[in-house]
Homo-oligomer: A and B are copies of this chain.
């Protein structure tokens, strides 16, 4: 998330549609299948990926979940089984894509970013999720194992909500909704951090706060980059005249679209507030400098003149008549006190003390 650039460039020079992955990244893909109707449920881990296309019937809804998209061989098998265009496979494997929706007539292809806060480091992590919606089948691709889809899995198993009654398009919707709902969790986390920065700022600003503000600003730049195109993709999805999306599901898609807009709104708001915090930080620092300067100035301007007076009478001239006066010393002290008082009055007038 906080990388400026995901390393995609290594494919430069290869024919488009080539799946090339550095050796060390490629891990075996884990594929799991849940096949259900309103009354039946069947969970399996398929051994032969080439047979997966058999699920392509509208009789039951099938959710094929693939974790680990860098297993080039498995991807090729899946691509062949479902007759995917090479560019679709390339998009799934090279995960630094911009969220988008594509309509390939017999299937819809939607990909977007799943965002979560790493519980250990507190960093925001992002991974690409790709959804393919066929008639009766949803295939989801994740980069890493995670728990965002676990709740969906439980809901299917316990037959909670509408998921068992409605079709594959509704399944796609709840997967999408699970991810978008997770954005809110991330934003809540971030906004709590912003509020804590804000409190500290008006207390005692230090440069740690500065780099914290900076790093959050950067996070929001990336969040924005991840969510903004999703809005566009969902708007297209809503408008799409595809037989794969049925009437009742459209209402729900509009709802998830509204949530996405709300996420964007909140991101923009947070960015505005962070910019404001940076201004505050600079002002507070500048204020403190001002205060430091005032203290220096007050002390220096009081003592420099009276030190000079003391210096005068520290001179060793033979004929300095004041030195012989019995009241010379108290008089000198009185002059110094008067100078100091005058300075203090001047500062009070200037409203410095």
Contacts and interface: CB of A to CB of B under 8 A. Distances in A.
Interface in A294-349: 294-297, 299-301, 303-308, 310-320, 322-324, 326, 328-329, 332-333
Interface string A251-273: 11001001001100110011011
A269 B221 contact: yes
A184 B12 contact: yes
Contact of A4 (B181, B255, B270): B270
Interface stretch (A38-46, A48-56, A67-75, A284-292): A284-292
Given A285-B286, A300-B304, A5 B98 contact: no
Contacts of A84: none
A310 B290 CA distance: 30
Contacts of A317: 313, 322-323, 328-329, 332
Contacts of A16: 161, 173-174, 177, 252, 255
A48 to B, nearest CB: 29
A118 to B, nearest CB: 17
Contacts of A192: 5
B306 A316 contact: no
B316 A210 contact: no
Contact of A251 (B85, B326, B351): B85
B12 A98 contact: no
10 contacts: A12-B151, A15-B155, A16-B173, A17-B161, A210-B280, A217-B276, A218-B276, A278-B279, A303-B304, A317-B322
